[in-house]
């Protein structure tokens, strides 16, 4: 995966390698907080890309100054599925 940050708006486009159309457009943090710089948006984009990996156990943060939330474990997911039956 790769990303681009608009230098004027700090909006992020995230692409799968080889694609010219982004699969994710992120103009702000998910909670609506604004990115203040290319560097801040780039850091968030890198965390978001990392979170697509099963090895990464934390999502990118939802807002400015927040910690990323932990992903559910395989056991937690299995429990949730079992409780739906």
Q: Could you list the pLDDT tens digit for every one of the 85 residues in the chain?
A: 999 999 999 999 999 999 999 999 999 999 999 999 999 999 999 999 999 998 999 999 999 999 999 998 888 888 888 998 7
Measured distance CA(32)–CA(2) in Å, rounded: 23
3-state secondary structure of 4: strand
User: In which domain, by residue range, is 16 found?
Assistant: 2-83
- How many domains are there within the chain? 1
**The pLDDT of residue 11:** 98
């Amino acid at each position: 995966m790769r990303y681009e940050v608009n230098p004027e708006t700090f909006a992020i486009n995230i692409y799968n390698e080889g694609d010219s159309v982004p699969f994710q457009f992120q103009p702000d943090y998910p909670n609506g907080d604004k990115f203040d710089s290319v560097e801040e948006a780039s850091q968030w984009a890198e965390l978001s890309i990392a979170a697509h990996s099963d090895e990464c156990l934390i999502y990118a943060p939802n807002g400015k100054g927040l910690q990323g939330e932990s992903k559910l474990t395989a056991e937690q997911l299995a429990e949730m599925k079992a409780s739906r039956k």
